[in-house]
């Protein structure tokens, strides 16, 4: 049975002075059995969040928002996988904003995956199409190409052992006023697993797929109602304890139903 996962991506928000308190508040309000929770603050807040959660809530993990594709070197402002060890257990790779703002290619993202796994970090690989791709009927081809480009050089068994998660981000549904339907996300999750199977993943059906497109407490139910969707990568709403409480609470309903169905 695939786990139900809610990952909070705080993006470029919070400071070391307030991140720990926010993390504690969210942790205390989202203690829901069988839901895996991850908080991904900015790099400068990783230690504050880690320290705030020590002893307070063993059920919530800390993740980083990115990792560099090289082990070390002359890369001013970047952070290597080795630097994250001890600060984070998870890491987001290939987020749509990194692809857009930093021109990250699938090849670079694939190398980042490798560095994350080598360091013992659990990666969340993001994929998703732009509005023009969706309107032109190229969504499946674009997402399939991103998967092939990032995963093609890796041993599926190694990434499976590392607990890799896929996050589907329909970029056209993030801050555009256009909303993705649960059925859109569910269909793409099935496509993602079918593509991975073609790439040699014998256990593609066991890989969790999250939805990440303007997720809120009001709309999370529509996406979690899809059997192919296993949780969410939450952006702006993850900074609001009330929203996170609602999102994780609804995820708990899904997790409980899956446990009951498999018992």
Q: Where along the chain do its domains lie?
A: 4-262
Average pLDDT over residues 121-142: 95
pTM summary value: 0.96
| 55 contact partners, CB below 8 Å, separation of at least 6 | none
Q: Which CATH class is domain 4-262?
A: alpha beta
Catalogue the active-site residues.
95, 169
What pLDDT does residue 172 have?
86
Spatial distance between the Cα atoms of 148 and 106, rounded to a whole number of angstroms: 8
Q: Compute CA distances 115 → 48, 69, 160, whole Å.
A: 24, 6, 15
Residue 179 has pLDDT above 90, yes or no: no
Least confident interval from 31-40, 51-60, 151-160, 182-191:
51-60
Average pLDDT over residues 21-48: 96
């Amino acid at each position: 049975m695939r786990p139900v996962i809610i990952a909070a991506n705080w993006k470029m928000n919070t400071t070391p002075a307030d991140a720990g308190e926010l993390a504690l508040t969210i942790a205390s309000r989202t203690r829901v059995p069988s839901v895996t929770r991850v908080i991904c603050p900015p790099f400068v807040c990783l230690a504050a969040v880690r320290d705030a959660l020590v002893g307070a809530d063993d059920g919530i993990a800390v993740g980083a928002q990115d990792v560099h594709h090289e082990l070390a070197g002359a890369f001013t402002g970047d952070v290597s996988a080795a630097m994250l060890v001890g600060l984070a257990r998870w890491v987001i790779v290939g987020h749509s904003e990194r692809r857009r703002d930093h021109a990250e290619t699938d090849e670079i993202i694939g190398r980042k995956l490798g560095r994350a796994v080598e360091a013992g970090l659990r990666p969340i690989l993001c994929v998703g199409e732009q509005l023009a791709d969706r309107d032109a009927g190229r969504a499946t081809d674009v997402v399939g190409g991103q998967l092939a480009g990032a995963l093609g050089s890796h041993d599926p068994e190694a990434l499976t052992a590392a607990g890799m998660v896929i996050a589907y981000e329909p970029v056209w549904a993030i801050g555009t006023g256009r909303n993705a339907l649960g059925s859109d996300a569910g269909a793409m999750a099935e496509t993602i697993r079918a593509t991975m199977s073609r790439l040699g993943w014998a256990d593609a059906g066991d890989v969790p797929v999250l939805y990440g497109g303007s997720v809120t407490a009001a709309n999370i139910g529509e996406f979690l109602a899809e059997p192919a969707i296993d949780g969410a990568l939450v952006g702006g709403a993850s900074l609001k304890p009330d929203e996170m409480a609602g999102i994780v609470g609804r995820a708990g309903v899904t997790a409980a139903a899956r446990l009951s169905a498999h018992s």
